[in-house]
Amino acid sequence: MKSILKYSIRMLIACAVLFVAPVLMAQTADDYFHGSAQSFINADIQGAIAQVQQGLAQYPNDPKLNALLQKLEEEQEKQQQQQQNQQNQDQEQQEQEQNQDQQNQEQQEQNEEQEQQDQQEGEQNDQQQPQEQQDGQPQQPREISKEEAEKILQALAQKEKELLKEFKKKKTQGSATHDKDW
Q: Predicted confidence band at 24 (pLDDT cuts at 50, 70, 90)?
A: very low
pLDDT digits (tens, 9 = 90+) for 65-90: 999 999 999 999 999 999 999 999 99
> What would the pLDDT profile of 123-177 be if each residue is shown by its tens digit?
777 666 555 555 556 666 778 888 888 899 999 999 999 998 888 888 887 766 6
- Which has the closest alpha carbon to 46: 97, 86, 80, 16? 80
0.85 cut: is pTM over it? no
Positive/negative CA dihedral, 64, 67, 70, 75: negative
- Predicted pLDDT of residue 26: 67
Dihedral sign, Cα of residue 160, residue 162, residue 165, residue 171: negative
List the single range of 3-7, 59-63, 97-101, 152-156 with lowest mean pLDDT: 3-7
Alpha-carbon distance 32 to 59, whole Å? 10
Residue 133 and residue 139 in contact, taking contact as beta carbons nearer than 8 Å: yes
CA 157 to chain centre: 32
Taking 80 as the threshold, does the pLDDT of residue 9 lie above it? no
Average pLDDT, the chain: 82
The residue count for the chain = 182
Q: Alpha-carbon distance 134 to 137, whole Å? A: 8
